[in-house]
Amino acid sequence: MRYIEPHGHMVSRTTDDYQAMVMAGCAAVCEPAFWAGFDRGSVAGFRDYFRQLTEYEPARSAKFLLPHYCWLCLNPKEAEDLALARDVLALIPEFLGGPNVLGIGEIGLNRNTRNELAVLEDHIELAVKYDQLILVHTPHLEDKLKGTNLILDRLKAHRGVKPERVIIDHVEEHTIRRVLDAGFWAGITLYPDSKASPPRAVDMLEVCGHERIWLNSACDWGVSDPLAVPKTALEMRARGHSAEFVDQVLYQNPVRFLSQCPKFLVG
Amino acid sequence: MDRGFIPVRAKLLEVAAFLDRVERHEVAGDFRCVALREAAALLGDGQPERARRILEKLSDPTTKPDRVSSGKAALGAWRPPAK
Ligand SMILES: [Zn+2]
């Protein structure tokens, strides 16, 4: 079996996780920029993080023969400090030329505030200006539905945004259809307690189709499972889906989306 | 059915025991417990797409961005603003 982990926060994971993922068939891992668990206090803190994502982490991953890619942004959780956000956005272009940088992400909303929306719009503008792919984080729990609607409104309102170059992640049963119907890609995140479980993820594939969907573990420093994607392959096979179906969803789909960035050289 | 029934039976019992527990500890009036009971009622209404409808029931129904952040994490159920 082969699969892509399109959303893993590997700076928070151990080398044991890298080894387990490769042994399970992982062919590439993609790491969106995200919140460290605390707010970074300065632009210098972000510069160090972007260097970690573009220099150190791909080297660590390479020791396990695993290609590592990343996405850059300021996480919506840190968008309340507008002055810092502007300075960080100004820093991003100098890293966009890096050989493992796929685009801008994971941008989006957290608690659906005005400041978060303003910073989301700035990120969209940046992505369009530099012709970058976009990876969007949708909010947690009770905020997801409203946040997804606000995000879709902003993306659809920008004439420079091409929906086929945007993936909207962490969809669930109440948000997946509106994302796909608007022409965007959808990401289903497999978490033990929140977001989707493997059975619910396969339900969504069966009900909503599987053309523009990827699955990810979004493993980070919280409760999460870096092997959630291959475990979902087992759920698919147990329900009678073919090996070709599994390969399409877990490998071919992410390769198809990510290959829109010429730097993604897997597949 | 053979694969799915036992794990789901266990989860249903967890829901039932949780609702008993919050009553025993007299916190059943918490807005999250209220939301959980209302959401659970959808399980038996005979209509399709229960997962979608339960998620919608637990969601913030407002549409305008919030003026300021609470600075707190999401709680899993929407709390109507105090009147
Ligand atoms: Zn993430």
> Domains in chain A, start-ordered, CATH in brackets?
3-258 (3.20.20.140)
Which pLDDT does position B80 carry in this prediction?
Answer: 86
What's the confidence (pLDDT) of residue B82? 81
Specify the pLDDT at position A9.
98
Nearest CA in chain A to B59: A142
Partners of residue A80 in chain B, C-beta under 8 Å: 69
Half-sphere exposure in the Cβ direction for A41 (13 Å, CA): 0
Under a CB-based contact definition with an 8 Å cutoff, are residues A81 and A118 in contact?
A: no
- Shortest Cα–Cα distance, B15 to chain A (Å): 14
B61, B63, B75: residue with CB nearest A141: B75
Residues present in chain A in total: 267
Mutate to test the interface with B, among A110, A140, A141, A197 (most CBs of B within 10 A): A141
Q: How much is the pLDDT for B9?
A: 96
Residues 6+ away with beta carbon under 8 Å from A133 = A71, A102, A103, A104, A105, A127, A165, A166, A167, A257, A258, A260, A261
Q: Say whether residue B10 is in contact with chain A using an 8 A CB cutoff.
A: no
The four Cα atoms A233, A235, A241, A244 give a dihedral, to 10 degrees, of: 0
Q: Is pLDDT larger for residue A7 or for residue B1?
A: A7
Closest CA to B62 of A259, A102, A87, A113: A113
The predicted model scores a pTM of 0.96
Token pair in block for residue A187:
């990401």
The end-to-end CA distance of chain A, in Å, is 14
Confidence (pLDDT) at B13: 97
Nearest to A200, CA basis, from A210, A209, A190: A190
The whole-angstrom distance between B37's CA and the closest CA on chain A is 16
Sheet containing strand A185-189, edge to edge, reads A3-5, A26-32, A68-72, A101-108, A133-137, A166-169, A185-189, A213-216
Contacts of A111 in chain B (CB under 8 A): 66, 69-70, 74
Is B59 in contact with A142 (Cβ distance < 8 A)?
yes
B contacts of A145 (beta carbons < 8 Å): 55-56, 59-60
pLDDT at B11 over 90: yes
Task: With H, G, I as helix, E, B as strand and everything else as coil, classify residue A176.
Answer: helix
| Contact between chains at A143 and B74 (C-beta distance less than 8 A) | yes
Beta-carbon count within 10 A of A1 CB: 14
Q: Is A108:A136 a contact under the CB 8 Å cutoff? A: yes
- Chain A residues in contact with B65 by the CB 8 A cut-off are 112-114, 116-117, 150
* Test mutation, B18, B50, B60, B70, chain A, max A CBs within 10 A: B60
Closest CA to B59 of A173, A155, A81, A248: A173
Q: Chain B residues with CB inside 8 Å of A142's CB?
A: 58-60, 74-78
Show the CA angle centred on residue A175, arms to residues B63 and A150, nearest 5°. 30
Closest CA to A146 of A189, A179, A175: A175
Distance CA A247, CA A241 (A): 10
Give the mean pLDDT of B32-49. 96
Provide the pLDDT for residue B70: 86
> Among A115, A139, A203, whose Cβ lies nearest the Cβ of B74?
A139
Buried b (16+ CB within 10 A) or exposed e, B21-33: ebeeeeeeeeebb
pLDDT, average across residues B57-69: 95
pLDDT band for position B4 (cuts 50, 70, 90): confident
Q: Report whether A136 contacts A169 (CB < 8 A).
A: yes
Closest CB to B77: pick one of A116, A142, A144. A142
Mean pLDDT in order along chain A per 10 residues (267 residues) = 98 98 98 95 97 98 98 95 97 98 97 97 98 98 97 98 98 98 98 93 97 97 96 97 98 98 93
3 state SS of B66 = strand
Contact assignment for B78 to A150 by CB distance below 8 Å: no
Residue B71 has pLDDT above 90, yes or no: no
**CA B17 to CA A97: how far, in whole Å?**
54
Look at residue B81 in the predicted model and tell me its pLDDT. 84
Centroid of chain to Cα A142: 20
